[in-house]
Amino acid sequence: MTDILIRRDGHAGRITLNREDALNALTHEMCLALETALDGWKNDPEIALLIIDGAGDKAFCAGGDIQEMYDTGKQRDFTYGDRFWRDEYRLNAKLFNFPKPVVTFLHGFTMGGGVGVGCHGSHRIVCETSQIAMPEVSIGLVPDVGGSLILARAPGRIGEFLGLTGDRMDAGDAIFAGFADYYIPRAHWPALIFNLCNTGDWDAVDALAQTPPDSRLAAWQPDIDAVFGGQSLGDIWRAIPGDPPDALAHAQKLMNRHSPLSLSATVGLIHKVRMSDTIEAALDQEFRFTSRAMEHGDFVEGIRAAIIDRDRTPRWRHATWQDVSGADVLRMTYPTDPPLDLTGETP
């Protein structure tokens, strides 16, 4: 069985992530196959729109398949990771800039690499099971796959909150934060996909959209904005009051688990991306960190603790955020050589 199903269906280009047992985690080969489809359909007059979904009931895509990242990183071979990220980020840029409507169906878990495939579309649909997150700081990375741009564009300081905590969003939260556009119960999805394929008319999505559930993040925003607007991670930590309200107590609990180096770099990342406000700048800034994360950061240890040994007790390079210096962050974020190239075709 192939890991990704790519086919024409009426007026639509159909892409289904097909690794149900692995929560549709994205492999390098899947990235390249998806990119090839985009290149072929971009100027095809018979393709009116794209439809991207995931097999099974549990996940659209729970992230990137990082087993080979871990295996090569443990051997201090960093070439695979560099190649994977360069290819994946080129795919993310092409999805963001695709000249035709891209309709994505984001059921269950949509995290990390899944955000890069599902949340750059023009018509992003969530349902009652949707759980969307950018949890990269929990494994020693920064929010990537272009997710830093979505975080930078979120209302107020919701982006900093989500990027630093890795907190999960339900359908209401995802729409409020800018990760999704439409709430449509999943029972209606098969008929909608059939209609889209038969007609090529993306207005069918608007016709079925319902009022989304209330957003917890919207209710929390005043408390989040009061704290997460600091210029540095230290500013944010010091702004949390001694008896924090629910939003900030929740944030403290989550942030205490994550890589201090990743947290420190994430604050600057979101601020820089907010000023540039392009997918290209976002991916370039992300790549500066991720391309160095195995050799100089916490990524290998983060994968070990979360995925390999599953002991949930990572031994980060820095014990606390106070131990991270400006030089430590600069080492991870200066320009790369060669720079990230987002203009090429699939290798």
pLDDT value, residue 343: 85
| Sign of the dihedral through C-alpha 219, 222, 228, 234 | negative
pLDDT value, residue 212: 97
Distance CA 77, CA 81 (A): 8
Distance CA 25, CA 28 (A): 10
pLDDT value, residue 346: 65
DSSP state of 128: T
pLDDT tens digits, the chain, 347 residues: what are they?
599 999 999 999 999 999 999 999 999 999 999 999 999 999 999 999 999 999 999 999 999 888 888 899 889 989 999 999 999 999 999 999 999 999 999 999 999 999 999 999 999 999 999 999 999 999 999 999 999 999 999 999 999 999 999 999 999 999 999 999 999 999 999 999 999 999 999 999 999 999 999 999 999 999 999 999 999 999 999 999 999 999 999 999 999 999 999 999 999 999 999 999 999 999 999 999 999 999 999 999 999 999 899 999 999 999 999 999 999 999 999 999 999 999 877 66
77 catalytic? Reply is no
Amino acid found at 303: I
Distance CA 294, CA 69 (A): 9
pLDDT value, residue 68: 85
Whether CATH 3.30.2350.10 fits 4-333: no
Q: Where are the domains of the chain?
A: 4-333
Distance CA 239, CA 253 (A): 15
Mutual orientation of helices 216-227 and 246-255 as an angle, nearest 10°? 70
- E-assigned strands of the chain? 4-9, 12-17, 49-54, 59-61, 102-106, 109-111, 123-126, 131-133, 182-183
Q: According to the 3-state scheme, what is the secondary structure of 268-315?
A: HHHHHHHHHCCHHHHHHHHHHHHCCHHHHCCHHHHHHHHHHCCCCCCC
pLDDT value, residue 1: 58
Distance CA 115, CA 95 (A): 11
144 catalytic? Reply is yes
113 catalytic? Reply is yes
Which listed residue (35, 53, 87, 136) is catalytic? 136
Which listed residue (65, 144, 160, 286) is catalytic? 144
Q: Classify 86 as helix, strand or coil.
A: helix
Structure-block tokens of residue 91: 């795919």
Q: 171, 114 in Cβ contact below 8 A?
A: no
178 catalytic? Reply is no
CA distances from 101 to 52, 190, 238, 280 (A): 11, 18, 44, 20
Q: Is the peptide bond before 143 cis (omega within 30 degrees of 0)?
A: no
Which listed residue (113, 172, 297, 302) is catalytic? 113
Which listed residue (13, 54, 63, 64) is catalytic? 64
- Comparing CA positions, the residue from 95, 75, 125, 122 lying closest to residue 26 is 95
- Comparing CA positions, the residue from 83, 134, 110 lying closest to residue 287 is 83
Spatial strand order in the sheet of 109-111? 59-61, 109-111, 131-133
**pTM for this entry:** 0.97
- Comparing CA positions, the residue from 68, 52, 67 lying closest to residue 18 is 52
